[in-house]
């Protein structure tokens, strides 16, 4: 059954039938609209999805671009996006940029051809001035044709953004650890071009300085922003000697879990021989032994908020999500100091 059959049955033009059924009924007289829809129901006509996309300028999909499919951080974000999308009759598709600005740009260019209703880009912005302007241009052209764009990232691009308070979360964690009596630290982070890593590293050192702890003598190890990066950095630290290090702060939970594995492989016990803390509060943070002290990020809520923001007509002001310090067994002094196991809001 074709749209032409419906138009003939309803005794209207093909253009009128198309507008009545493909979401562009504005300008169609009410009596014609009733006849077309009744004819479609009698004939069992099912609109063609591609034709509807052409008529509306989009399909009923949310295209999600994430930095790393193996990181549980993005699984939690995707769960929130999926829940919110389904509530609005939308379907989520996901692609992976592998933390490459060039790959991210290529994915957005390809997605435009599939006409999603919404594009959500989730992941840290990475310093890359060459591709950033190209990405802005690509997303602006997509938005000019009716598409919606939302970022779950740092503010900076001219699109609605859901952002996590990384710096203040890390600063609150540092203050909490200092109050618990930790004085000597090793910080394991990713490259500074990854803005999430940079914000968390700077926030943590700011919290130490505010607590009267000088940071010049602390060990800083830069590595890949992954679990294996955390593992390699901890192995390097053990091989050179822990020295006076009392606590290792890794700027993400996945890195911190890699750190804990490396410590065990070296015959050390996390939480006993050296304390460990992370950031994100991914689901596995409470499954490792000892449970990981971290900074909780409302990841599922970030996904829900991104879809809400995309479907609203709000201006492009960043929506900042709060973080919460969660104290667990991997930092036993903090537990012994009487800090609440659920931590403190930043």
**Cis bond before residue 247 (omega within 30° of 0):** no
Higher pLDDT, 342 or 300: 300
Q: Could you give the C-alpha distances from 328 to 38, 177, 183, 250, in angstroms and in order? A: 62, 12, 18, 15
324 pLDDT band, cuts 50/70/90, is very high
Kindly state the percentage of the chain with pLDDT values over 70: 90
pLDDT at 215: 82
Residue with tokens 């253009």: 15
Enumerate the H helices of 29-183 as residue ranges. Answer: 30-43, 49-56, 72-87, 101-112, 129-144, 166-179
> What digits encode the pLDDT tens for the residues 68-101?
888 888 899 999 999 999 998 899 999 998 888 8
Q: 189 — phi, psi (to 5°)?
A: -140, 170
User: Rounded to whole angstroms, how far apart are CA atoms 197 and 189?
Assistant: 6
In the predicted model, is pLDDT for residue 346 greater than 50?
A: no
7: Cβ contacts below 8 Å, ≥ 6 apart:
13, 14, 16, 17, 36
List, for residues 165-196, the tens digit of each pLDDT value: 999 999 999 999 999 999 999 999 999 999 99
pLDDT at 28 over 80: no
Q: What is the pLDDT of residues 33-74, one digit of tens each?
A: 889 888 888 888 876 555 555 445 456 899 999 988 888 888
- How much is the pLDDT for 292? 97
Q: How high does pLDDT run on average in the chain?
A: 88
Residue with tokens 């609440």: 340
pLDDT in tens, 103-152: 998 998 888 878 888 999 998 888 876 788 889 988 998 888 888 999 99
């Amino acid at each position: 059954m074709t749209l032409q059959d419906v138009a003939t049955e309803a005794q209207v033009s093909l253009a009128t039938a198309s507008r009545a059924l493909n979401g562009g009924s504005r300008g169609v007289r009410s009596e014609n609209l009733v006849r077309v829809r009744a004819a479609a129901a009698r004939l069992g006509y099912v609109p063609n999805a591609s034709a509807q996309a052409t008529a509306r300028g989009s399909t009923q999909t949310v295209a999600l671009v994430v930095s790393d499919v193996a990181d549980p951080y993005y699984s939690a974000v995707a769960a929130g996006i999926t829940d919110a999308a389904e509530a609005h009759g939308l379907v989520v598709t996901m692609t992976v940029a592998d933390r490459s600005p060039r790959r991210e740009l290529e994915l957005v260019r390809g997605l435009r051809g599939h006409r999603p209703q919404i594009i959500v880009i989730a992941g840290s912005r990475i310093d890359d001035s060459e591709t950033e302007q190209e990405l802005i241009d690509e997303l602006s052209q997509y938005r000019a044709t009716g598409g919606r764009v939302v970022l779950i990232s740092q503010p900076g691009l001219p699109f609605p953004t859901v952002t996590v308070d990384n710096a203040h979360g890390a600063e609150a964690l540092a203050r909490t650890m200092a109050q618990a009596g930790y004085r000597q630290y090793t910080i394991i982070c990713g490259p500074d071009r990854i803005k999430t890593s940079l914000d968390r590293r700077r926030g943590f050192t700011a919290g130490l300085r505010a607590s009267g702890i000088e940071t010049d003598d602390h060990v800083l190890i830069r590595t890949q922003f992954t679990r294996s990066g955390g593992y390699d950095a901890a192995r390097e630290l053990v091989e050179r000697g822990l020295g006076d290090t009392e606590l290792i702060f890794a700027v993400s939970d996945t890195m911190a879990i890699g750190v804990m594995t490396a410590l065990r492989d070296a015959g050390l016990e996390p939480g006993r021989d050296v304390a460990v803390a992370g950031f994100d509060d991914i689901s596995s943070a409470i499954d490792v032994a000892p449970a990981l002290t971290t900074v909780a990020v409302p990841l599922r809520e970030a996904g829900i908020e991104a879809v809400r923001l995309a479907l609203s007509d709000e201006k492009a002001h960043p929506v900042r999500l709060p973080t919460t310090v969660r104290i667990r067994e991997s930092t036993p002094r903090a537990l012994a100091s009487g800090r609440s196991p659920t931590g403190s809001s930043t």
